[in-house]
Amino acid sequence: MLRINCPVCGTRDETEFTYGGDATVVRPAMDETRAQLWLDYVFNRDNPRGPHTEYWHHVQGCRQWLVMERNTLTHEVGECHLAKEAC
């Protein structure tokens, strides 16, 4: 069980959250016309073995989107902040 430290609700079980994937992926500007950038955004991932910055949605809590650091090899959970607050 991952224990996620929601900045609003405190430390809660992973089962209250929905995973949102790699948080370093940035959507291109809406007028971007280079297909490669859209391809990278929609499909390609770094998929690191180690530190990972990722989205979690506190669906059964404050319903905020969070950005959390987690190690994909050890599952060690690190810093967590609200996605709407730039880090």
Partner 1 sequence: MSHYSALSVFLNALKGNQNWQRAWRDPAPKPKYDVVIVGGGGHGLATAYYLAKEHGIRNIAVIEKGWLGGGNTGRNTTIVRSNYMMPGNTMFYERSMKLWENLSQDLNYNVMISQRGQYNLCHSPAQMDAARRRGNIMRANGIDADLFDRAEVKRRLPYLDYSATARFPIHGAIFQSRAGTARHDAVAWGYARGADRLGVDIIQQCEVTGYIWDKGKITGVQTTKGEIRAGKVGLAVAGHTGHLADMAGLRLPIETHALQAYVTEPLKPMVDPVISFGAAHFYISQSDKGGLVLGGDLDGYNSYAQRGGLPIVEHTLASAKALMPSLSRLKLLRHWAGVMDMSMDGSPFITKTSVDGLYLNGGWCYGGFKATPAAGWCFAWTIAKDEPHPDNAEFTLNRFERGYQIDEKGVGPKPNAH
Q: Which residues bind partner 1 (CB under 8 A)?
A: 1-2, 13-15, 19, 21-22, 35-36, 39-40, 42-49, 52, 54, 70, 72-75
Return the CA Rg of the chain. Answer: 14
Q: Which is nearer to partner 1, 75 or 84 (CB)?
A: 75
Which helix (H) or strand (E) segment is 38 a member of? helix 35-42
Amino acid at 10: G
Q: Which is nearer to Zn ion, 37 or 82 (CB)?
A: 82
SS3 for 69? Answer: strand
How many residues bind Zn ion (CB under 5 A)? The answer is 6
